[in-house]
Structure 1
Amino acid sequence: MIHNTEQSKIIKVVQIGNIYVGKSSLYLRYHQGEFIDNPNYIDFYNKIINLAEKQITFQFWDYRSNEKFFSLSHYFYNQSSIVMISYDITNRQSFDRVQFWFEDYNQKKQNKVALLVLIGNKYDLEQQRKVSQKEGKQLANSLGMLFFEVSSKTGYQVNELFESLISYAINVN
């Protein structure tokens, strides 16, 4: 959900996907500018970005993909203006579950429409790739999603991903 005041916007972003695809590490790479291997789970945090005369507050929610939190997914989906679905490019099963996460979002969103972004993480492990970039792009296109491949470890395309989200946030009324 995007909340506007005269000089600021609050953008709520949720990231979903299988466990161990690097969701928390991606947030931490962007937020702190460094890679943290096996971070403690992050539930929520803010990042404030000042652009010209506007202040944008990104509220990141790392939706844990386990049964304990599954019943809360409708809350996360309906409060978010950006939904990021992540998979690990070295793990075919995590890619195969993207459709599940997409359908779960669509079933629970209650007519809320968010920007959907498909993220292939762990680009630094290119030599161990099990999911081609072409497959990721095709799936994203078929689901009407933006697509990025990133590396939380090296920072590859992380800033570009979040710059796109910032651009979206600025241009949304």
Structure 2
Amino acid sequence: MAGEASQKKKGKLSRQESSKSAKESEIDIDRPIAGASSNQDKTRSGVRVYKIVVLGDGGVGKSAVTLQFVSHSFLDYHDPTIEDSYQQQAVIDGEPALLDILDTAGQVEFTAMRDQYMRCGEGFLICYSVTDRHSFQEALEYRKLIQKVRATEDTPLVLVGNKFDLQMQRKVSTDEGKSLARQFGCPFYETSAALRTYVDDAFHTLVREIRTKERERFGVQDNDRKPNRHSKWWRLRSIFALVFKRKRQQAGYTS
């Protein structure tokens, strides 16, 4: 029991540190750079920013997967007051990337903003739990919603079946996940946020999908395209940050 309590305490600290790091990164990414164009956002190192949205039913482990990728920590409890957007640098196929990840996390406040982040996101991780058949069925609905909002089927996606370590509770087979991914025309991973299995692979593959489709559509090198710092994505991200800040303050007053 003492070991479990220690692990939870360590996990909570890691999550708070990750949230702090995310806010610091948010300040860095929006800071003007000497000599930079006013309508472009280049990070200090000139790294390409990839706008990632994590979608899925409540309880499938979206936040757990995201936090494993960003902070290499796993939380076996849920604290919605600390959910946020995250940024993580990575080198993918020898090319640096900054992943700006929006964890939608089933927040009721953002239902009206759903169309906005689906339009602004460049790539989507659609998650379900292999222990929850309803969440698997909902993955198809998220895919349909993306198609409807974006009016295209050519959107970078990765399908993720999380919690594959819970084999005794499995309700969705691997073959069913593969079949749905073929229907989507996208890569598929079964992940375990608890064991950190295939977590990095899912995010890195999504960046590859964005790069591939971008080259197909525009015929340009990835580093030639820079996100507009005044775009809807950055405004949307600011709204998320404001709401999360208020939630934290309210939690502080009531705890």
Q: TM-score range by the shorter chain?
A: 0.7 to 0.9
Map of 1:17-56 to 2, 5 A cutoff?
Answer: 17-41=56-80, 42-50=83-91, 54-56=95-97
**Counterpart among 143, 148, 171 of residue 130 in structure 1:** 171
How many residue pairs are counted as aligned between the two chains?
Answer: 171
1:39 is displaced (CA, Å) by 3.9
Find the aligned partners of 1:150 and 1:166 in 2 and give their Cα distance: 17
Secondary structure (helix, strand or coil) at the match of 2:166 reads helix
Amino acid at match of 2:186: M
Q: Does 1:79 align with 2:120?
A: yes
CA RMSD of aligned residues (A): 2.5
Q: Taking structure 1 as reference, are residues 108 and 169 closer, same or farther at Cα in structure 2, changes over 3 Å only?
A: closer
Secondary structure (helix, strand or coil) at the match of 2:158 reads strand
Amino acid at match of 1:99: L
Bigger CA drift: 102-111 or 51-60? 51-60
Find the aligned partners of 2:96 and 2:210 in 1 and give their Cα distance: 11
Map of 1:24-173 to 2, 5 A cutoff?
Answer: 24-41=63-80, 42-50=83-91, 54-111=95-152, 113-168=154-209, 172=214, 173=222
Amino acid at match of 2:54: Q
Secondary structure (helix, strand or coil) at the match of 1:72 reads helix
Bigger CA drift: 67-76 or 118-127? 67-76
Higher strand share: 1
Larger Rg belongs to: 2
Amino acid at match of 1:22: G
Secondary structure (helix, strand or coil) at the match of 1:57 reads strand
Q: C-alpha offsets along residues 129-165 of structure 1, whole Å, 9 cap, x if unaligned? A: 1000000000110121211100000111112223323
Provide runs of 4+ in structure 1 moved above 6 Å. Answer: none
Q: C-alpha offsets along residues 62-111 of structure 1, whole Å, 9 cap, x if unaligned? A: 11335432221111111111111100000111111111111111111255
Find the aligned partners of 1:169 and 1:138 in 2 and give their Cα distance: 22
Q: Taking structure 1 as reference, are residues 12 and 130 closer, same or farther at Cα in structure 2, changes over 3 Å only?
A: same
Please report the TM-score for the alignment, with normalisation by the length of structure 2: 0.60
Higher helix share: 2
Find the aligned partners of 2:65 and 2:76 in 1 and give their Cα distance: 10
Aligned-residue identity in percent = 26
Q: C-alpha offsets along residues 9-61 of structure 1, whole Å, 9 cap, x if unaligned? A: 00000011100000000000111112112243323111122569854110000
Please report the TM-score for the alignment, with normalisation by the length of structure 1: 0.86
